[in-house]
Structure formats: C-alpha cells, structure tokens
A = this chain, B = another copy of it.
Amino acid sequence: MVKVKVYITLKSGVLDPQGKAIEHALGAMEIHNVSGMRVGKYMEFYMEEKNPDQGQIEMMCEKLLSNPVIEDYSYETEEVVPS
C-alpha cells in the first residue's frame, strides 16, 4: 500500500486573490516581513499497489485533481504498512 501526497499550485503568472487577501490580513496583524503568499491545494490518498502506476497518478492529477490550464502539480509516494 502506498500513500500519495499531491501538491497543487497556481502557475506563476496566475493571479492569486486568496493569497493577496491573506497578505492583507497579515498587514492588519502588524506582520510585515511576509511576501509572495500563494495558496494551493494538498491532497493525500492511498493506493492498493506496492508500486503504483505513475501514469495513473499523473492521469488523475491532470484530469481530476488539478486544472492544468492554470495549475501545476507535483506528487510524492511513500510506502505504508496497512493497519
């Protein structure tokens, strides 16, 4: 069994209003040493195989988990012992 961690980030040219809102809120909290806030998604799931098909993970990321027009994805896998 394998745990898969997927990180979805906005492509660098894409505006991130949620990140801007967080920066604005930080300013209201008198925190001024933070910049470049970007908000993305993190997903984790389990796959039954010990050596899962990387192509399947990439297909899932491209077709379902991310929007490839505006988002990039990366992932890592980690073997786990089923409990």
* A residues whose Cβ falls under 8 Å from a Cβ of B: 7-9, 19, 22, 25-26, 29, 31, 33-49, 52, 56, 60, 63-65
Contact = CB atoms under 8 A, between A and B. Distances in A.
Q: Which 6 A-B pairs have the closest CB atoms?
A: A42-B42, A37-B45, A40-B42, A36-B46, A33-B48, A35-B46
Contacts of A7: 42
Nearest to A45: B37
A45 B33 CA distance: 10
A42 to B, nearest CB: 4
Contact of A45 (B8, B35, B48): B35
A32 to B, nearest CB: 9
